[in-house]
Amino acid sequence: MNRKEYNSVVSEHSNNLFGYALRFLQNKADAEDTVQDVLEKLWIHRKKVEYLKAKSWMFTTAHNAMINYSNKKGRMQLRPELQLYVKSVENQARSFESMEVVDRAVSILPPIQKSIILLRDLEGYSYKEIGQILELSESQVKVYLFRARNKIKKQLKGLMELV
């Protein structure tokens, strides 16, 4: 990939990459750092990355970086967070906007399910593209997506019963 192609890829995909990172990490500064790291790595590896596969490479690199970052910082405490969140919702249920509730429901999914939900439902990627990004088969993507949507439904149904 040459400089012109690099700039084209960055211009075309950096906003979507940032949106994905922001939804996954729930922190603007961390998302900006992740995107910056991905762009730096893309520049370093530009001669190895094919122009047509750069988008997939960027999202795969971002996904792996976010998983590593979350594990390193211990931010992925799924079960206890759900319990704390339900208690918080009992106290503040009426003050939440519906999108905040959905964002919260997505944020407590396991990392692979969270990534698939964000890539499919928010970014609009196809099953095939998600499979390439996350190194899964299309059928695995569909199964994880089905399970993630069911978990979100159950969480939202439980929250609605509290209100």
The per-residue pLDDT for 101 is: 67
Q: How far apart are CA 149 and CA 163, in angstroms?
A: 21
Segment (H or E) for 147: helix 138-162
Domain chopping of the chain, boundaries: 3-73, 78-162
As a CATH number, domain 78-162 is: 1.10.10.10
Task: For the domain covering 3-73, report its CATH number.
Answer: 1.10.1740.10
Query: 56-79: per-residue pLDDT in tens?
Result: 899 999 988 888 887 776 544 444
How high is the pLDDT of residue 160? 63
pTM higher than 0.85: no
